[in-house]
Amino acid sequence: MYSFALKSIGDEDDAKEIVQDVFKSLWERRADLQLQDAERYLLRSVKLKSLEFLRNKGIKQRHHESLSSSKTELYEDTNLYYKELKNHLDDAVESLPRQCKNVYKLSRDEGLTNKEIATNLLISERAVEYHISKALSVIKIRLKKYCNINITRFLLLTFLYF
């Protein structure tokens, strides 16, 4: 039985497991079974289990290959989409008035607080809030021209993937 499974499968551990499964199944159904030719029954069971193993192995392999290719495509699509949106965002930021752009960059790129920005640029915190609000409003309008995605989804993509 083991030799037959090994020839069919080609792996010792898998062949041993198949034979063990056949004996386990036989043991669990021992009360219900009425065998005329036990040797023939066992060989046939090993043959069927081996074929089932090979079939399942092929299905698993195709499934893994399919998942691998779809992950790569999804990643590439998302990466391309992100780069395109990032370019549009950069263009929108560059179109802002000088002071508005400076405040926005210090806030988003440098991670400074409103108070730190106000101190650095010698303006009030209220002015910083105004410039950030104006920058976000302009960016939102500019991005809507280029895509059918809302700003929330763009930010979500930014934080999830990069």
pLDDT category, 100, cuts 50, 70, 90? very high
Structure tokens at 16: 């041993």
**Stronger pLDDT, 67 or 81, i.e. the higher one:** 81
For residue range 12-66, what is the model confidence (pLDDT) as tens digits? 998 999 999 999 988 888 888 887 888 888 889 999 999 888 888 888 777 777 6
**Are 65 and 113 members of one domain?**
no
**Are 6 and 68 members of one domain?**
yes
Whole-angstrom distance, CA of residue 20 vs CA of residue 8: 16
CA separation (Å) from 14 to 27, 40, 98, 137, 149?
20, 21, 69, 63, 51
Name, in order, each residue with C-beta under 8 angstroms of 54's C-beta and a sequence gap of 6 or more.
Answer: 8, 9
**End residue of a domain, out of 11, 40, 72:** 72
CATH code of residue 104: 1.10.10.10
**Are 110 and 155 members of one domain?**
yes
**Are 105 and 149 members of one domain?**
yes
Locate the DSSP E strands across the chain.
none
